[in-house]
Amino acid sequence: MSQRVIVTGGSGGIGAAIVERFVTDGARVAVLDRRAPAAEPASLFFSVDLRDPLDTRRAVGEAIAALGGIDVLVNCAGVFQHVSLLDITVDDWDLVLDINARATLVTMQAVAPVMLEARAGSIVNIASMAAKQGGGGEGHYAASKAAVVALTRAGAQEWGCHGVRVNAVCPGYVLTDMGADTRSDDDVRTWSAKSPLGRLGAPEDVAGVTHFLASPAGGYLTGQAINVTGGMIMH
Ligand SMILES: NC(=O)c1ccc[n+]([C@@H]2O[C@H](COP(=O)([O-])OP(=O)(O)OC[C@H]3O[C@@H](n4cnc5c(N)ncnc54)[C@H](O)[C@@H]3O)[C@@H](O)[C@H]2O)c1
């Protein structure tokens, strides 16, 4: 049977590549996003504001019902702000933590009963290199992604004995809409030089690793936070 997959943030840069990767493999995919996918959808679409836990549970429930179950959850939706530590407001903190971290918990809670009952399932949370190496100007973003890694490990520890695996992917710099408003050509050159491979990541780089983690080939991996950074960080 083809995999039944939910991808949050599947209308955006990395999320759209993840959707395409699973669809190419014959999976049935439900996208949960606040905006519709730009391309002609090869997937189901459920409009949702992931900042709202009730709306999120509603959308996950509808997606599971439409798919007839769930094998894979990919939490990819996220927001980024470039703000120095002294200038982060409580509203900034709440927005970034609500969408990046709390919504990850809520979707994990929403799919877990079905996966635990089936004694099978794989969850892949898209964190960030910032979780391991939080940089200046993104303190609240780094904190939100560290929380995503912590939730990943907690899920792996609690649900592994029921056949459910939980892993995280930590991308480096990927040229998408995210951060585009504060990104200069100089930034791109500087960041590219940080990778031994001499380039930034593509959405497909993240999609390939995400797909691998959810596949049987990744069957002995759980609780991991895998860097997809072109070697910018190695721990
Ligand atoms: N682009 C990078 O350099 C980079 C690096 C490391 C990690 N990441 C992570 O990868 C993931 C995807 O990032 P991206 O670069 O594709 O970003 P993006 O901005 O291109 O896409 C993000 C998607 O999330 C959706 N989204 C945001 N808030 C939402 C909400 N409240 N409700 C529903 N949907 C919402 C957006 O509509 C969009 O489709 C994010 O979690 C991000 O933190 C990105």
Residue 214 within any structural domain of the chain? yes
Ligand 1 pocket: which of 174, 175, 187, 232 to mutate (most atoms within 8 A of CB): 174
141 catalytic? Reply is yes
Instruction: Provide the residue range defining the domain that includes 118.
Output: 4-228
Examine residue 82 and state whether it is found in any structural domain, yes or no.
yes
Report d(CA 233, CA 216) in Å as an integer. Answer: 27
End-to-end CA distance of the chain: 36
In a domain, 64, yes or no: yes
Whether 164 maps to a domain, the answer reads yes
Total domain count, the chain: 1
What would the mean pLDDT of 100-123 be, rounded to a whole number? 98
Considering the domain boundaries, does residue 235 fall inside one? no
The pLDDT value given to residue 43: 83
Phi, psi of 137, rounded to the nearest 5 degrees:
85, 5
Does 154 fall in a domain? Answer: yes
22, 46, 80, 141: the active-site residue: 141
pLDDT beyond 80 at 101: yes
The answer to whether position 233 is within a domain reads no
Instruction: Give the closest residue (by CA) to ligand 1 atom 21.
Output: 12
Has residue 137 been placed in a domain? yes
Q: What is the pLDDT of residues 143-199, one digit of tens each?
A: 999 999 999 999 999 999 999 999 999 999 999 999 888 899 999 999 999 999 999
Query: pLDDT tens digits for 17-47?
Result: 999 999 999 999 999 999 999 876 678 999 9
CB distance 15 to ligand 1 below 6 Å: yes
The CATH number given to whatever domain includes residue 13 is: 3.40.50.720
8 Å CB contact between 2 and 22: no
* Token reading at 230: 């072109």
33 Cβ below 6 A of ligand 1:
yes
Tens-place pLDDT, residues 4-15: 999 999 998 999
Alpha carbon distance 93, 98 (integer Å): 8
